[in-house]
Amino acid sequence: MKIFLISYLTLVFILFFNKSSTENYQNMTLQDDTLKESIKRGNEIYTDFCVTCHLPSGKGMSGVFPPLASSDFLMEKQTKSIRGIKFGMSGEISVNGKKYNGFMASMGLSNQEIADVMNYITNSWGNKNDKIITVEEVSNIKK
């Protein structure tokens, strides 16, 4: 009787874990696909709107256009970065220990386009973002 109960519990355990692990897996691949698609669209937006200043390498131009590749500002201050892309950015900032005091105009991108370009730049040139930036997150950021 005891052995029967133990095997029954083991079976329930296995079934439960199998189920939840496939669910997790499905959620992960869903998230992966959403991120991949967003990055793909973001790449095009980058080419159309950002590349002239921040360059294809994301390295910018020292002292004039700050880098996005390995930028501590971009990776640590994502809300400020989004606000800058959305509404424009000026005044002194420090990027990787270097001061910039330039001006970036708002490019009139939609919240979706900003989320996409953020997903692209925070996952390019060695940058890695552990979370996906959503359109809701961008729309909640005000001037």
Is 5 a binder of ligand HEC (CB under 6 A)?
no
Among 39, 68, 115, 133, binds ligand HEC (CB under 6 A): 68
Among 39, 95, 133, 138, binds ligand HEC (CB under 6 A): 95
Is 125 a binder of ligand HEC (CB under 6 A)?
no
Nearer to ligand HEC, 20 or 47 (CB): 47
Judge contact between 71 and 60, C-beta under 8 A: no
Sign of CA dihedral 61, 137, 125, 34: negative
Per-residue exposure over 11-34, b if at least 16 CB sit within 10 Å of its own CB, e if not: eeeeeeeeeeeeeeeeeeeeeeee
Is 91 a binder of ligand HEC (CB under 6 A)?
yes
Structure tokens at 102: 């330039």
User: Which residues in the 22-51 window bind ligand HEC by CB under 6 A?
Assistant: 49-50
Amino acid type, 75: M
Among 71, 119, 123, 124, binds ligand HEC (CB under 6 A): 71
Amino acid type, 117: V
User: Footprint of ligand HEC on this chain (CB under 6 A)?
Assistant: 49-50, 52-54, 65-68, 71, 73-74, 81, 84-85, 89-91, 93, 95, 100-104, 107, 117, 121
